């Protein structure tokens, strides 16, 4: 087994200030990641964690609250607090975790924060906004007013969680506001998909393998499918989700990040700006559905009651905090184009949904079929075209569908699969995906974070769909536990193609 952190040095001395320390993200992902990072030697005794929240806590009660983690190792399981590696790391981290109580909108909180930095003499800090999105702009403004973004005694960085805006206008406004208070190189806009090893691997798999890059264009690729299917329903997130919907929640961020990795040109280095420049070019080249094509090229669905994995699931509209006449979609499918020399004429089909039959995040690159000529007279029906399946989660890996000769005297073909399974070779199971992101914030590497222009270009590509869906119409129902609405099948079948089967 190969470890994923073999070459990394320990992060520098700093304070990680987490706004929203009592929230779900801190419990489920941030603190488990910090424990994993401690266990892997990525952070040491000189990292202090200061949690900010509104609850009546103190240092000790906060620490006790974290004693029973709901961590998501590999996104699926819980952190094993009994494992010696984890137990030791937590013991080391525990004494460096502190609590500061306060209201995010209260000027006094920022003065107390300032005073703490003066006392410790530790200048460098990352302010992590793990809060509801409506706090983002205000917190940055208050940090700036209290001179907490001044970098004269060390770096001062801000990590901003998703969603960054809820449409093009709000994303522009938020960018404009925070960019008057902080420099772009202080801003770490998070898309947690970029923390996933398998998403990062797309770029390496493309640019470290000559044979991939040689066929990676419109001459050989027929179309690309990107899927993020989830079995979970909306559950307790009704209030957030109903104002958001599947399109905003998953597409301009997570699916577009994957799209950019697939479609970008080779950067001239693995430097953050070089990579983010190439990704921004892809976002600007994306041509999404327009007012004229939205009816045909964008489909929305909503789950009704059904069974997922043998368990009864109520319909979306019966979810707490969701109105029975809600028009919010829990499924979205789209056909997009990328207007570049490399991709002209190659459609990208994207789909995502909740309460589907299987959990499956994958990219399927469908190659063009071979010319049939040489098989004429052999009895062979046109052999299936090659497919490259990049499975991101679960069971991460890369598989190639090829065609070989079936043994025997006649020319007969048989489809076969060549498989690489990530977990067979590398130890990635214990990671939450946030370890790399937190580490990169601390060392100042912005490669895996979104830049202002990229965020805005992604919203711009989808704004016509957002507007059209807002203005009229309803999502098409699909039963929980199915593969999504029928209209999504029709979207791709109109082009004479089919979705790759959902499921590993």
Buried b (16+ CB within 10 A) or exposed e, 417-454: eeeeebeeeeebebbbbbbbbbbbbbebbbbbbbbbbb
Q: Which residue minimizes CB distance to ligand BG6? A: 249
DSSP codes joined into one string, 151-201: -TTS-EEEEEPSP--SSHHHHHHHHHHHHTTS-GGGEEE--GGGGSHHHHH
Beta strand spans in 190-290 (E): 221-229, 286-287
Q: Is 354 annotated as a binding residue?
A: yes
Q: How many residues does the chain have?
A: 504
Sole binder of ligand BG6 in the list 197, 230, 435, 440 (CB under 6 A): 230
Site membership for ligand BG6, residue 23 (CB under 6 A): no
112 neighbors 102 (Cβ within 8 angstroms)? yes
CB of 75 to ligand BG6, least distance (A): 5
CB of 243 to ligand BG6, least distance (A): 12
Q: Is 151 annotated as a binding residue?
A: no
d(CA 366, CA 346): 10
- Other Cβ atoms closer than 10 A to 250: 22
Distances (CA, A) of 453 to 176, 287, 337, 397, 467: 11, 16, 19, 31, 21
- Other Cβ atoms closer than 10 A to 377: 7
Find the catalytic residue in 166, 183, 254, 500: 254
Q: Is 162 annotated as a binding residue?
A: yes
Q: Is 184 annotated as a binding residue?
A: no
CB of 12 to ligand BG6, least distance (A): 28
Q: Is 311 annotated as a binding residue?
A: no
Nearer to ligand BG6 (CB atom), residue 157 or residue 248: 248
Nearer to ligand BG6 (CB atom), residue 230 or residue 440: 230
CB of 140 to ligand BG6, least distance (A): 21
Site membership for ligand BG6, residue 394 (CB under 6 A): no
d(CA 300, CA 249): 13
Nearer to ligand BG6 (CB atom), residue 24 or residue 45: 24
What are residue 298's phi and psi, to 5 degrees?
A: -140, 130
3-class SS of residue 333: strand
> H or E element: which one contains 435?
helix 434-443
CB of 230 to ligand BG6, least distance (A): 5
3-class SS of residue 31: helix
Sole binder of ligand BG6 in the list 28, 63, 142, 162 (CB under 6 A): 162
Q: Is 445 annotated as a binding residue?
A: no
Q: How many helices (H) and strands (E) does the chain have?
A: 18, 20
Size of the site for ligand BG6 (CB under 6 A): 5
114 is catalytic: no
Site membership for ligand BG6, residue 477 (CB under 6 A): no
Nearer to ligand BG6 (CB atom), residue 249 or residue 278: 249
Chain mean position to CA 229: 13
d(CA 311, CA 481): 9
221 neighbors 368 (Cβ within 8 angstroms)? yes
x/- site string to ligand BG6, residues 402 to 441, per CB under 6 A?
Answer: ----------------------------------------
Q: Is 63 annotated as a binding residue?
A: no
Site membership for ligand BG6, residue 249 (CB under 6 A): yes
Taking each helix axis from N to C terminus, what angle separates 272-285 and 256-263, rounded to the nearest 10 degrees? 100
Nearer to ligand BG6 (CB atom), residue 65 or residue 233: 233
CB of 157 to ligand BG6, least distance (A): 21
Sole binder of ligand BG6 in the list 12, 23, 74, 75 (CB under 6 A): 75
CB of 331 to ligand BG6, least distance (A): 12
**Site residues (CB under 6 A) for ligand BG6?**
75, 162, 230, 249, 361
Q: Which residues are catalytic?
A: 254
Binding-site positions: 54, 162, 192, 196, 230, 249, 354
Binding-site positions for substrate: 192, 196, 230, 249, 354
């Amino acid at each position: 087994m190969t470890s994923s952190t073999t070459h990394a040095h320990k992060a520098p001395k700093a304070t990680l200030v987490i706004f929203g320390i009592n929230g779900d993200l801190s419990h489920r992902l941030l603190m488990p990641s910090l424990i994993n990072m401690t266990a892997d030697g990525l952070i040491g005794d000189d990292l202090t964690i200061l949690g900010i929240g509104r609850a009546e806590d103190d240092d000790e009660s906060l620490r006790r609250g974290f004693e029973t983690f709901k961590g998501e190792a590999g996104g699926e399981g819980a952190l094993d607090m009994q494992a010696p590696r984890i137990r030791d790391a937590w013991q080391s981290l525990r004494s460096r975790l502190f609590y500061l109580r306060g209201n995010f909108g209260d000027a006094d909180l920022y003065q107390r924060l300032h005073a703490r930095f003066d006392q410790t003499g530790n200048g460098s800090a990352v302010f992590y906004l793990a809060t509801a999105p409506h706090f983002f702009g205000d917190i940055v403004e208050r940090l700036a007013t209290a001179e907490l973004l001044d970098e004269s005694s060390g770096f001062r960085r801000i990590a901003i969680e998703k969603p960054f805006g809820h449409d093009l206008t709000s994303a522009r406004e938020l960018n404009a506001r925070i960019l008057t208070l902080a420099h772009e190189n202080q801003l770490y806009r998070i898309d947690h998909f970029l923390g996933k090893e398998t998403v990062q691997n797309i770029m390496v798999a493309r640019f470290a393998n000559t044979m991939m890059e040689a066929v990676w264009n419109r001459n050989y690729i027929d179309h690309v499918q990107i899927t993020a299917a989830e079995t979970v329903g909306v559950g307790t997130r009704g209030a957030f989700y109903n104002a958001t919907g599947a399109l905003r929640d998953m597409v301009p961020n997570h699916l577009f990040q994957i799209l950019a990795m697939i479609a970008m040109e080779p950067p001239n280095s693995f430097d953050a700006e070089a990579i983010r420049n190439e990704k921004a070019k892809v976002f600007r080249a994306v041509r999404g559905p327009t007012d004229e094509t939205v009816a045909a090229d964008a489909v929305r669905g909503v789950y009704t009651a059904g069974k997922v994995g043998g368990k009864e699931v109520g319909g979306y509209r019966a979810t707490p905090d969701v109105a029975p006449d809600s028009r919010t979609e829990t499924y979205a499918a789209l056909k997009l184009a990328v207007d570049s020399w490399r991709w002209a004429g190659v459609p990208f089909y994207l789909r995502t949904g909740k309460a589907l039959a299987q959990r499956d995040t994958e990219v399927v690159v469908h190659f063009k079929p071979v010319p049939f000529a040489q098989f004429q007279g052999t009895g062979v029906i046109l052999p299936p075209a090659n497919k490259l399946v990049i499975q991101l989660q679960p069971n991460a890996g890369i598989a190639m569908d090829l065609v070989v000769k079936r043994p025997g005297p006649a020319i007969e073909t048989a489809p076969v699969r060549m498989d690489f399974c990530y977990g067979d070779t590398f130890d990635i199971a214990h990671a939450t995906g946030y370890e790399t992101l937190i580490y990169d914030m601390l060392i100042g590497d912005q490669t895996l974070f979104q830049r202002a222009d990229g965020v805005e270009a992604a919203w711009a590509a989808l704004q016509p769909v957002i507007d059209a869906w807002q203005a009229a119409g309803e999502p098409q129902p699909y039963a929980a536990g199915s593969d999504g609405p029928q209209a999504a099948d029709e979207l791709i079948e109109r082009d004479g193609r089919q979705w790759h089967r959902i499921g590993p």
